[in-house]
A = this chain, B = another copy of it.
Amino acid sequence: MIVVLKKDVTEAQIQHIVEKAQELGLKTHISRGVERSIIGFIGPEDVLRVTPLEVFPGVESVMPVLSPYKFVSREFKKESSEIRIKDGLTIGGKKIALIAGPCSIEDYDSLLEVAQKVKAAGATMLRGGAFKPRTSPYDFQGLGEEGLKIMNEVGRKTGLATITEVMDTRQVEIIDRYVDVFQIGARNMQNFSLLKEVGKTKKPVVLKRGMSATLKEWLMSAEYIMSEGNPNVIFCERGVRTFETETRNTLDINAIPVIKEKSHLPIIVDPSHAVGRWAWVGSVSKAAVAAGADGLMIEVHACPENAKSDGAQSLLPEKFAGLVDELSAIAKAVGRVV
């Protein structure tokens, strides 16, 4: 931590800060400049993060030097992590994971149909919501446990791994029973109770980025999960909120190289929510793979006209299959496979 002092700081004020540091078990190092003097704190920054140095008399500004996260950082673990999903299936290795399926689980037959088609096209994991976070209380809220059972059955029948969103600490146990991977949605990225609860399981967690979460906050949310003992976290960039209204969100493609540099954890991309219209999904899916994403999570529906949610951004199974061919060529160009 570095403290920049005001131009007119007094010696007594400097002394007061130095004493506070000593009280916290830290050493200080004062550097006197022409325009400003600064104090460097030597020792663990954590004790300082909760000390409001900004309010000490004579302080102009405070600058942290170290990252506030540990377990998720590349400094903590140099080699990239490959998260095991189930036998023979990982995320973060050479093979790019393709996760596909409808926004909501609607019934057994339609889920099975989509599952079989996306599997044939190359997907290895099935997505689908049983508990749906809908902006309106009057919109379809999901099938709940009934949906989980359907997903479980379809997963077993097709051999696909399964992923569904958990919205409430009280749902963790039941979802844990039926499904292979937890998804934390964008709206819950800083639902810290929920993060801790999935952190107590051993199951992989796909952590979507919050609508206006900084990369640092996102890394900290992963740290919440890891600090509870669950190391199996996968980041999922799904677009951030900006001033642009033509697209549903703005896919932050920059996030891929930055997360890869800061963390050893894998990162996948959800192009469907990032653009909001099926016609644009292919273009940004290819971009994500080219930029280094470890996987894609794409909404696919056999009949978007009848989808109970997010129909506008769902691909038809045939379009998905065509896209996988294109992705395969891109993956090869960056030394990977789909």
A108 in contact (CB, < 8 A): no
Which of B134, B258, B282, B334 meets A247, CB within 8 Å? B258
Q: Kindly provide the distance from the CB of A70 to the nearest chain B CB, expressed in whole angstroms.
A: 8
CB distance from A291 to the nearest CB of B (A): 4
* Chain B residue at minimal CB-CB distance from A192: B133
Confirm or deny: A11 has a beta carbon within 8 angstroms of a beta carbon on chain B: no
| A146 interface residue per 8 A CB criterion | no
Q: Interface range on chain A: under 10, 10 to 19, 20 to 34, or 35 or more?
A: 35 or more
A46 proximal to B (CB < 8 A): yes
Q: Nearest residue in B to A61 (C-beta to C-beta)?
A: B65
Compute how far the CA of A228 lies from the CA of B239 in the bound complex, rounded to whole angstroms: 31
Counting every copy of the chain, the complex holds 4
Contact yes or no, B246 A243, CB < 8 A: no
Residues of B within 8 A of A309 (CB): 50
Contact, CB under 8 Å: B33 / A42 = yes
User: Which of B170, B243, B291 meets A214, CB within 8 Å?
Assistant: B243
Quick one: CB contact mask for A236-255 with B, threshold 8 Å, 1 for yes?
A: 00011111111100111110
**Interface pair A40/B42, CB less than 8 Å apart:** no
Given the interface pairs A66-B35, A140-B50, the reply to whether A253 lies near B251 with Cβ below 8 Å is yes
Q: Which of B140, B212, B311 lies in contact with A54, CB distance below 8 A?
A: B311
Q: How far is the CB of A216 from chain B (nearest CB, A)?
A: 7
Q: Which residues of B contact A292 (CB under 8 A)?
A: 283
The residue in chain B whose Cβ has the minimal distance to the Cβ of A20 is: B305
Binds B, one of A83-91, A120-128, A154-162, A219-227: A219-227
Which of A111-119, A173-181, A273-281 contacts its partner?
A273-281
CB distance from A229 to the nearest CB of B (A): 12
Q: Which of B68, B196, B253, B304 contacts A284 (CB 8 A)?
A: B253
> A75 interface residue, CB < 8 Å from B?
yes
With most chain B CB atoms within 10 A of its CB, the pick from A45, A63, A304 is A63
Contact: B326 with A330, CB < 8 Å?
no
In the complex, A211→B330 CA distance in Å?
30
User: Quick one: which of B31, B63, B188, B284 contacts A257, CB cutoff 8 A?
Assistant: B284
28 example contacts (A-B, Cβ-Cβ < 8 A) are as follows A2-B38, A29-B33, A31-B40, A34-B43, A49-B136, A52-B307, A52-B311, A55-B312, A56-B305, A63-B63, A135-B190, A137-B224, A137-B227, A167-B192, A169-B170, A187-B190, A214-B244, A243-B243, A246-B258, A247-B258, A250-B250, A254-B275, A258-B280, A260-B283, A287-B288, A287-B291, A290-B290, A329-B334
8 nearest A-B residue pairs (beta carbon): A52-B311, A212-B212, A290-B290, A329-B333, A168-B193, A257-B283, A287-B287, A287-B291
Known: A170-B170, A257-B280. 8 other contacts (CB 8 A): A33-B40, A50-B140, A136-B223, A169-B170, A240-B244, A254-B284, A257-B284, A330-B333
